[in-house]
Amino acid sequence: MPGRGEPEETRRRSVGFIAESRRGSSHVSAARRLPNPAPAQLVPSVDVTIERGDPGDRDLAESLPDLEFTVLELADRLLNRGVVLVGEATISVAGVDLIYLGLNVVLTAVENLVDRPARPDGA
Amino acid sequence: MSPLLVHALTRGKGAERPSEGVGGRTLRCVPGGRLGAWATAWEGGRPELAREELFAHHRLVEALSPCLPVRFGTWAADEAVLAELLRAREEELLDALARVEGRRELAVTALWREPSAPGPAPETLAVGPGRRFLEERRAAGRALARRETRARELSERLTEALGLPPEAVKHRRCPSAAVALSSAFLVPAEGATALGERLVGVGEGFPEVRLLVHGPWPPYSFVEAVEGDA
Amino acid sequence: MLPARVDIDPDGVEQGLAKLVLTLIELLRQLLERQAVRRMEGGSLSDEEIERMGLALMRLEEKLGELAAHFGLRREDLNISLGQLGSLL
pLDDT tens per residue across span B53-62: 999 999 999 9
Contact A44, B24 (CB under 8 A): no
Does the residue A99 lie in any domain? yes
Among chain C residues, CA nearest to B230? C85
Lowest mean pLDDT among A52-61, A98-107, C9-18: A52-61
* pLDDT above 90: percentage of residues in chain B: 67
User: What contacts B100, CB < 8 A, 6 or more positions away?
Assistant: B66, B68, B186, B219, B222, B223
Lowest mean pLDDT among A5-9, A107-111, C22-26: A5-9
A28 and A49 fall within a common domain? yes
Q: What is the mean pLDDT of residues A64-90?
A: 77
Give the model's pLDDT for residue B118.
60
DSSP 3-state of B225: coil
**Domain range spanning residue C45?**
16-71
A62 and A93 fall within a common domain? no
Spell out which residues of chain C touch residue A108, defining contact as CB-CB under 8 Å.
1, 3
Among chain A residues, CA nearest to C2? A118
pLDDT at residue A26 above 90?
Answer: no
What integer best gives the mean pLDDT of chain A?
49
Contact A41, C82 (CB under 8 A): yes
pLDDT at residue C55 above 50?
Answer: yes
Cα–Cα distance list, C44 to A81, B129, B136, C40, C55 (Å): 48, 20, 19, 7, 18
CA of B126, closest CA in chain A: separation in Å?
31
Measured distance CA(C14)–CA(C73) in Å, rounded: 11
Measured distance CA(B2)–CA(B89) in Å, rounded: 24
Region for residue B145 given its phi and psi (left: phi exceeds 0; alpha: psi -120 to 50; beta: otherwise): alpha
Does the residue C3 lie in any domain? no
Degrees to nearest 5, angle at CA B132 with B130 and B138: 110
Q: Mean pLDDT highest for which of B73-77, C36-40, C74-78? A: C36-40
Cα–Cα distance list, A97 to A91, A114, B29, B77, C31 (Å): 6, 11, 25, 17, 45
User: What contacts B74, CB < 8 A, 6 or more positions away?
Assistant: A44, A84, A85, A86, A107, B5, B6
Does the residue C53 lie in any domain? yes
Measured distance CA(C89)–CA(C86) in Å, rounded: 9
DSSP 3-state of B44: coil
Model confidence pLDDT, tens digit, residues B168-224: 999 999 988 889 999 999 999 999 999 999 999 999 999 999 999 998 999 999 998
Per the structure, how many domains does chain A have?
2
- Name the residue facing C81 among A33, A38, A103 (closest C-beta): A38
Give the model's pLDDT for residue A2.
36
A24 and A51 fall within a common domain? yes
Does the residue C26 lie in any domain? yes
Measured distance CA(A123)–CA(C5) in Å, rounded: 8
Among chain A residues, CA nearest to B174? A27
Spell out which residues of chain B touch residue C57, defining contact as CB-CB under 8 Å.
130, 133-134
Contact B57, A48 (CB under 8 A): no
A66 and A89 fall within a common domain? no
Strand order in B103-112's β-sheet? B169-173, B179-188, B103-112, B209-217
| Residue ranges of domains in chain B, CATH in brackets | 4-100 (no CATH), 103-222 (3.30.70.260)
Does the residue A3 lie in any domain? no
A123 and A101 fall within a common domain? yes
Does the residue A30 lie in any domain? yes
A91 and A56 fall within a common domain? no
Does the residue C87 lie in any domain? no
A25 and A38 fall within a common domain? yes
Give the model's pLDDT for residue A36.
28
A103 and A66 fall within a common domain? no
Spell out which residues of chain C touch residue A119, defining contact as CB-CB under 8 Å.
2
**Domain range spanning residue A49?**
20-80
B169 membership: H or E segment, kind and range: strand B169-173
Mutation to test the C interface, candidates B2, B74, B131, B229, most C Cβ within 10 Å = B131
Does the residue C81 lie in any domain? no
User: What contacts B9, CB < 8 A, 6 or more positions away?
Assistant: A83, B35, B36, B37, B38, B67, B68, B70, B86, B93, B97
Degrees to nearest 5, angle at CA B24 with B18 and B28: 50
> Which pTM was predicted?
0.70
pLDDT at residue B229 above 80?
Answer: no
- Name the residue facing B130 among C1, C41, C52 (closest C-beta): C52
Region for residue B189 given its phi and psi (left: phi exceeds 0; alpha: psi -120 to 50; beta: otherwise): alpha
> What number is the ipTM of this complex?
0.82
Per the structure, how many domains does chain C have?
1
A73 and A100 fall within a common domain? no
Q: What is the mean pLDDT of residues C2-24?
A: 61
Contact B115, B177 (CB under 8 A): yes
A26 and A66 fall within a common domain? yes
